[in-house]
Amino acid sequence: MDMKKLASVLIPDKDLLPVEEYEKIYPERERAPKAEITRLAPSPTGFIHLGNLYSALADERSAHTTDGVFYLRIEDTDEKRKVEGAVESVIRSLNYFGLGFDEGAEIDSPLNKYGPYYQRQRAKIYRAFVKVLIEKGLAYPCFCTETELDSVREEQTSQKKTTGYYGEYAKCRNLSEEKIYENINAGKKFVIRLKSQGGIENKIAFRDAIKGEVTVTENDQDVVILKSDGIPTYHFAHVIDDHFMRTTLVIRGEEWLSSLPVHLELHKVLGFKPPRYAHTSSLMKMDGGTKRKLSKRKDPELSLDYYRKAGYFPVAVVKYLMTLLNSDFEEWALKNPDKDYRDFKFRIEKMSRSGALFDLDKLNDVSKTEISRLSAEECFDFLDKWVQEFGSEADRAHFKDKEYIIKVLELVMGIGGKKRRKDIERAEQGVRLIDYFFDDAFAPEYSYRFDDETVNTVLDEFINTYDPEDDNSVWFAKVKAIAPKVGFAGETSEYKANPNAFRGNVSDLAEILRIAVAGAPNSPDLCTIMRILGKDRSVSRLQAGKR
């Protein structure tokens, strides 16, 4: 058979470059010997989840701890699954978590020398290589219809045979020249399949960067490499792209491990040296005593939007994922509390071979710790970002007064003080915590534990002597001075010595003031709260607190 002729009938494009040219167009990258070139290669479906972030973090760290490059390639060979704005959304989501690409689709970078980074725009490259494979007799056209393929699959299933297009089932593998042209002339649709040279009796020893030594069975399936619309399959496209984008390390989900033999064969027939592959295990969670994969349907925490909406501290999510990626990260972080997580020596080889167990409670703990380390300014920025995107109209109005909020945060979060507040996991909690500093959000419950007369006397007495210029000790002395007027002990020691002699202690008295001013029996230092609120607001709250 004249293969050259067949190739030019099947791939009639006039403008294809000789394949050798591509080695020159996309030369080896200049890089340090250990520098890793990694990529995130999502389909533009618009859904990017925690598992993608987990994998992207492994890519990003592998590249950036070795002076390498992390790039974004869009695998859009399946037009049906494409969603508008999906690429921007991937970039935005990763940026939110502090991960940035050096190169790639929609990335403005001088490094963009290996593009285009959208697979659909690379059709010419793939087609040039398919043509060569046909010329070499390593690929052929297949005219089988979906219905024919379905019935073969059914037959294989019923006979408990491996399903697929191989051996005796590969009907178009040995079509005569005459039959091929007859089909083409009849206008039959065709795909191009690899003419597999492998056999399942052969085993290949393969070293996965995460899973270590794995033995896989050689591929014998004549997989589709070019679909009937002239666009390649993932299998073919990614092999070409990873070669010409000079990827050194492919990190991807373990669901791809089963097609690795196909990919290894494709590299071989194309004459490429495969990159290193690292297959990550899925994120798991405990559910009623059993471990299972995180699921899109059951687990809202799989979606990255969940973390943005709830206002998780982005670095906390990343740090938590780091603990799942490399088990020695946690210890390192404890020893180096002030260091950036990027200073940790991430290594893909240290990743766990079995599924990483995702635990939201642990993530919450990491988030609490991170938030408790923020300066007032950082804390403001963090809360403000959430407020601008997810807060109410009122929240946004409150956050206009940065100076005021900073004062409030210093007090409420204990910033710069001896006791740092350590129970805030998310921005939303932080924002709600300071509501009472704003009159329109102040919603006191007035849950006093004393009769109205006592409450009113305490509040009136305090109003009479209150001076916003008082420092804490004078302020407190004035509170104590009210005690005898309502039969309370002015000193805790007096109260403890003879509790029956008093109706309450000075702390109970302060509680009455606290409920009136802060709306709840517990609050940070009340004298400071009053100073922040100012005289007028403090007094009007004390007045309004009377029963």
The 3-state DSSP class for residue 534 equals coil
Among 125, 126, 129, 139, CA closest to 3: 139
**Residue 278 CB, nearest approach to ligand GLU (Å):** 10
Of the pair 64, 238, the CB lying nearest ligand GLU is at 238
Of the pair 234, 390, the CB lying nearest ligand GLU is at 234
| CA distances to 340, 375, 419, 532 from 335, in Å | 12, 21, 22, 38
Q: What are the φ/ψ torsions at residue 137 (nearest 5 degrees)? A: 75, 20
Determine the Cα–Cα distance for residues 421 and 429; give it in Å rounded to an integer.
12
The 3-state DSSP class for residue 476 equals helix
| CA distances to 93, 245, 358, 377, 459 from 371, in Å | 20, 39, 20, 12, 36
Of the pair 79, 401, the CB lying nearest ligand GLU is at 79
Determine the Cα–Cα distance for residues 126 and 121; give it in Å rounded to an integer.
10
Of the pair 232, 545, the CB lying nearest ligand GLU is at 232
Among 469, 445, 472, 468, CA closest to 536: 468
**Residue 43 CB, nearest approach to ligand GLU (Å):** 5
Determine the Cα–Cα distance for residues 111 and 100; give it in Å rounded to an integer.
14
Among 225, 220, 224, CA closest to 261: 220
Determine the Cα–Cα distance for residues 504 and 501; give it in Å rounded to an integer.
9
**Residue 262 CB, nearest approach to ligand GLU (Å):** 12
| CA distances to 224, 315, 337 from 340, in Å | 46, 10, 8
Of the pair 43, 429, the CB lying nearest ligand GLU is at 43
User: For the purposes of burial, counting CB atoms within 10 Å of the CB of 25, is it exposed (0-12), middle (13-18) or buried (19 or more)?
Assistant: exposed
Of the pair 250, 356, the CB lying nearest ligand GLU is at 250
Question: Which residues does 432 contact at the CB level (< 8 Å), separation at least 6?
Answer: none
User: For the purposes of burial, counting CB atoms within 10 Å of the CB of 469, is it exposed (0-12), middle (13-18) or buried (19 or more)?
Assistant: exposed
Of the pair 257, 481, the CB lying nearest ligand GLU is at 257
User: Residue 385's CB: how many other CB atoms inside 10 A?
Assistant: 17
**Residue 76 CB, nearest approach to ligand GLU (Å):** 9
CB 84, CB 51: distance < 8 Å: no
In what side-by-side order are the strands of the sheet with 290-293? 290-293, 283-287, 356-357
Binding site for ligand GLU (CB under 6 A): 41-43, 75, 234, 238, 250, 252
Tokens of 121: 């725009």
Of the pair 260, 318, the CB lying nearest ligand GLU is at 260
**Residue 252 CB, nearest approach to ligand GLU (Å):** 4
Of the pair 11, 210, the CB lying nearest ligand GLU is at 210
**Residue 40 CB, nearest approach to ligand GLU (Å):** 7
**Residue 77 CB, nearest approach to ligand GLU (Å):** 9
Residue with tokens 């007028």: 536
Of the pair 75, 425, the CB lying nearest ligand GLU is at 75
**Residue 236 CB, nearest approach to ligand GLU (Å):** 12
Dihedral, CA atoms, 439, 442, 443, 447, nearest 10 degrees? -110
**Residue 352 CB, nearest approach to ligand GLU (Å):** 19
Of the pair 233, 367, the CB lying nearest ligand GLU is at 233
Of the pair 58, 172, the CB lying nearest ligand GLU is at 58
**Residue 347 CB, nearest approach to ligand GLU (Å):** 20
CA 470 to mean position of chain CA atoms: 50
**Residue 38 CB, nearest approach to ligand GLU (Å):** 10
Of the pair 55, 367, the CB lying nearest ligand GLU is at 55
Q: Residue 261: is the preceding peptide bond cis (ω within 30°)? A: no
**Residue 67 CB, nearest approach to ligand GLU (Å):** 22
Determine the Cα–Cα distance for residues 271 and 265; give it in Å rounded to an integer.
10
**Residue 154 CB, nearest approach to ligand GLU (Å):** 28
